[in-house]
Amino acid sequence: MNKNKAITIGAFTVEPGCRETAQFPLPELYTHAPTTMPVEIINGKQAGPVLLITSCIHGDEINGIEIIRRLLTHKTLNTLKGTLILIPVVNVFGFVAQSRYLPDRRDLNRSFPGSAKGSMAGRLANLITAEILPHCSHVIDLHTGAIDRENLPQIRASLNTENTELQDLALSFQAPVVLDAVLREGTFRKCAHEMGTPTLVYEAGEALRFDEVSIRAGVTGVLNVLSHLGMIRKRTQGRSHSPVVAKGSSWVRASQSGVLRSLVALGARVKSGETLAYVSDPIGHDEEAIISPAAGIVIGRARLPLVHEGEAVFHIARFSQTGNAAEQVESFQDEFDPVNGTSDSDEPPLVG
């Protein structure tokens, strides 16, 4: 047995076999009241990978908070190999304000790697980049859709590389869909990638809402990754679905402003040329159909039935075998439906 070592992050040291909640200081409020970012550090007795799990980089994307809370109650963490670092609320200021952004109106997920002398967003990004990320061997970043937009549970990663480890990691999560997503400038994922740290983004649900299926799938997915990395015991493969990798994806946009009447649900299989929705004025005049440009699966959609011209309404993922992808998505939804009682947690299901 390889014994683990103490881990020191900033001013906090956690010995092997110990667990600590570290409070990292952030800029003070206008009143000079102190503000901190809570970081949970679980340092296993045995050596192993160091997995960082972050949530709420966008302050209104709260599903990840519940995923982390449930994960921390899981008994398998008592025999953890390696180290688990969890930050349930990265963007503390946005979270308190129920806002995606920081008080300086900057998007934290476009501010990495940041700067110690930069903007508020830059300084917070720098804290993560300089103090926490160098200790980590792997990262899972938990996200949701924006306000009034919902995402089917999915993993986003850069698969068009020679890094087979990242693809294996993405598949091990067992989300129904894996999307090969480009690295965007300023994102946490790109920053971690450039530091050589394999990083997954889990997208599921919508902002300012708890979604039970997304939360259950998130907890199970993180445990699957922990098992894949050898940080917890090998998990039995009782699931009925397998992840499918999308060939690509595209947003379908509203051709005019008006009242939207959607005809397809999240996770639905659609055909090329199929009518996805209608847009008209409030009386029903000047009606236009929104048509799917390709066959695929709806992995994201707008929930608000009021749209402006050019607004993204449906996110369609394309697959080499759309029928197989649809079957896997349906199996996933059945598996994590609270009615079926499938869960890696004893928590009662949340009702939205």
Token pair 């809402």 in the structure block, residue = 209
- Judge contact between 312 and 327, C-beta under 8 A: no
Rounded to 10°, the helix 164-173/212-228 angle is 140
Q: How many CB atoms lie within 10 A of CB 33?
A: 7
Helix H, strand E, coil C: the string for 87-99 is: ECCCCHHHHHCCC
pLDDT under 50: residue ranges of the chain: none
303-323 CB burial, b ≥16 within 10 A, e <16: eeeebeeeebbbbbbbbeebe
**pLDDT by residue (tens digit) across 25-54?**
999 999 999 999 999 999 999 999 999 999
CB atoms within 10 A of CB 56: 25
The DSSP secondary structure of 180-227, one letter per residue, reads: E-PPPTT-HHHHHHHTT--EEEEEEE-TT---HHHHHHHHHHHHHHHH
Report pLDDT for 316. Answer: 98
CA distance 312 to 263: 16
What is the predicted pLDDT for the residue at 11?
94
Domains parsed from the chain with CATH numbers = 7-228 (3.40.630.10), 248-318 (2.40.50.100)
Q: Is 54 exposed, middle or buried (0-12, 13-18, 19+ CB in 10 A)?
A: buried
- pTM (two decimals): 0.96
pLDDT, residue 341, reads 66
**Alpha-carbon Rg of the chain, whole angstroms?**
21
Structure-token pair, residue 236? 């039995």
**Which pLDDT score, from 0 to 100, does residue 160 have?**
73
Are the CB atoms for 222 and 85 separated by under 8 Å? no
pLDDT in tens, 107-134: 999 999 999 999 999 999 999 999 999 9
pLDDT at residue 237, rounded to an integer:
64
pLDDT of residue 286: 94
Q: How far apart are CA 275 and CA 284, in angstroms?
A: 17
